[in-house]
Amino acid sequence: MKMDYKTFRKTVKKFLFLATVFSFSVFPSLTTAVALESGSVSFSSAAPFVFNATVNYDIYAPGDATSPSPSASDFTYVYNVVNNVIVPPAGAFNVPVDRFDLGVGTSASITGATSLGAGVAPTTIDASVPGNVRFLFGTGVVPGSSSTQLIIHSPNAPGDANSIIGFSSYLNSQLLRAPFALPVKDFACFDINKVKLKINKNQIAKDRLKIQKGAISYNIGESFDPATDIVKLSLDNGTYMLSIPAGSFEQKGSRADYKYETGSGVSPKIKFRLNIDKGEWNVSIKHADMSLFTDAANLAVMLMIGDTKGQVSIPLTIHKDTLSEQKLEFKRSPKFSCPKMRDDDSSVANDPGTGYGHHKRSCLSSFSVTYHLGLPDQEIISLFGGNISHPDTTVAITAGSSATFHTSCSQCLSCGTTDVSGNFTITEISDATGKLTTMCGIDPSCDITPAQ
């Protein structure tokens, strides 16, 4: 029987999927039942306190009576932390694991968390903090031992979340499957101007996608935080999903311009750019399997950053179709653009009608103020990039008290400077452009100091 290329690739993918399911059923991570999803993720730390831990997981569909703790309405997530015995480097120690922070989607709901079975039981289970379920192990899961089955219930289906394993302050963060809900907020502005999709018909996982000149803008008061925000790109409702862990994007200079790129030899090869200043985003994915999008009339694209999302359906047209490859393309004309979050050349008042605004930028890349009325209780307000205004920046504590500092960089600033009330004190300044450093001189304790 003659089989066309498209049918062949689907048959290969089905075979690989069945092989994966079979491997987990023969070597189950936690139970003998076949779960909806199963897998394992490795965590490790560097000297002097080293650990190599494996988190095995099984995820069961709602109502699955074969799960260790079935739920009629929720997914059941089962985790097992194994602290492997390793030979540490000279002068280092193989240490216990005393902390497992299971990251969950910011908008996900946790209806229950417990511990079952043999192993080291957690002394504390805390599911009260949004985006995280924390398991603490007292004296720890020592090398050569494992935890009990750590079980949580959630109405939300699985997705990738940033999770942490650690001993004291020695921590390692990895993506782990956990409850995930679609972000509850939308970008103020979002669209795509150009898409190129190339399918290699002769080789599997050699396809390429480029999304170029995407438009993006946050609502006033919101911004991208590369340290805490996971970035996800979903194509056709999860047919293809790209997840980039928090902390992976690097800031270019002092502007709200961020870049992520996979290392040499890593597949798929990914380049991702988020230029919040200009209101643009671009992504290039090479050496990936996107064969399911062959002949696609429309491509549903969703970008999720933290708890904010943007989505659009792109009509694709076949630009080229040969025995070896197929090219699908889209180009929007005229080009769509989002209002910039910041304008270096002019100062324009925010427009409440659109939710966007333009303002001149400060030369500061970070600015922290400590509110110290009623010591020893303190509250630190830290601002970064576009959240530092020109010519003045107002900071406020949770209770509502506020203070305004001049941050146009036309005046010298220093740590220890207070507001008129004396309750707010500058405790950190980062002058990335060097303007204040040149004008005011260097102070090792706070980057800059007033001119003498």
Instruction: Indicate whether 10 and 30 sit together in one domain.
Output: yes
C-alpha distances (whole Å) from 257 to each of 42, 233, 274, 280, 391 are: 31, 18, 6, 9, 22
Nearest in space to 36 (alpha carbons), one of 57, 13, 5: 57
What would you report as the CA-atom Rg of the chain, rounded to the nearest whole angstrom?
25
Instruction: Indicate whether 191 and 175 sit together in one domain.
Output: no
From 179, 205, 230, the end of a domain falls on 179
Instruction: Indicate whether 317 and 287 sit together in one domain.
Output: yes
φ, ψ for residue 65, nearest 5 deg: -70, -15
Secondary structure (H, E, C), 155-224? CCCEEEEEEEEEECCEEEEEEEEEECCCCCEECCEEECCEEEEEEECCCCCCEEEEEEEEEEECCCCCCC
Per-residue pLDDT tens digits for 26-72: 333 444 457 899 999 999 998 899 999 999 999 999 999 989 999 99
Q: How confident is the model at residue 184 (pLDDT cuts 50, 70, 90)?
A: confident
Give the pTM.
Answer: 0.62
Q: How confident is the model at residue 305 (pLDDT cuts 50, 70, 90)?
A: very high
pLDDT at residue number 78 = 97
pLDDT at residue number 377 = 58
Instruction: Indicate whether 156 and 202 sit together in one domain.
Output: no
Query: By CB neighbour count within 10 A (0-12 exposed, 13-18 middle, 19+ buried), where does 362 fall?
Result: buried
Distance separating the N- and C-terminal Cα atoms of the chain:
88
Q: How confident is the model at residue 148 (pLDDT cuts 50, 70, 90)?
A: very high
pLDDT at residue number 238 = 81
Contact at 8 Å (CB) between 330 and 203? no
| Structural domains counted in the chain | 3
Tokens of residue 403, six digits: 């203070």
What is the CATH number for 166? 2.60.40.1170
Instruction: Indicate whether 253 and 393 sit together in one domain.
Output: no
pLDDT at residue number 82 = 98
* Averaged pLDDT of the chain: 81
Instruction: Indicate whether 377 and 413 sit together in one domain.
Output: yes
Asked if the structure places residue 346 within a domain, the reply is no
Domain span holding position 154: 5-179
Asked if the structure places residue 352 within a domain, the reply is no
Pairing of strands 231-235, 280-288: unpaired
From 164, 179, 194, the end of a domain falls on 179
Instruction: Indicate whether 279 and 385 sit together in one domain.
Output: no
Contact at 8 Å (CB) between 242 and 287? no
pLDDT at residue number 350 = 35
Asked if the structure places residue 258 within a domain, the reply is yes
What is d(CA 298, CA 293) in angstroms, rounded to the nearest whole number?
Answer: 9
pLDDT at residue number 395 = 86
pLDDT at residue number 352 = 36
Beta bridge partner(s), residue 443: 447
Name the 3-class secondary structure at 81.
strand
Asked if the structure places residue 345 within a domain, the reply is no
Per-residue pLDDT tens digits for 89-138: 898 999 999 999 999 987 889 999 999 999 999 999 999 877 889 999 99
Dihedral through CA 263, CA 173, CA 209, CA 17, nearest 10? 110
From 286, 307, 331, the end of a domain falls on 331
pLDDT at residue number 435 = 67
Tokens of residue 222, six digits: 């919101």
Does the pLDDT of residue 422 top 90, yes or no? no
Q: By percentage, how much of the chain surpasses pLDDT 90?
A: 45
What is d(CA 291, CA 282) in angstroms, rounded to the nearest whole number?
Answer: 21
Instruction: Indicate whether 13 and 152 sit together in one domain.
Output: yes
Instruction: Indicate whether 410 and 393 sit together in one domain.
Output: yes
Asked if the structure places residue 356 within a domain, the reply is no
Asked if the structure places residue 337 within a domain, the reply is no
Asked if the structure places residue 343 within a domain, the reply is no
Asked if the structure places residue 91 within a domain, the reply is yes
More confident residue, 5 or 224: 224
- Exposure string for 8-45, b = 16+ CB within 10 A, e = fewer: ebeeeeeeeeeeeeeebeeeebbbeeebebbeebebeb
Instruction: Indicate whether 380 and 270 sit together in one domain.
Output: no
More confident residue, 438 or 56: 56
pLDDT at residue number 51 = 95
Instruction: Indicate whether 279 and 427 sit together in one domain.
Output: no
Does the pLDDT of residue 252 top 60, yes or no? yes
Instruction: Indicate whether 154 and 203 sit together in one domain.
Output: no
Contact at 8 Å (CB) between 155 and 74? yes
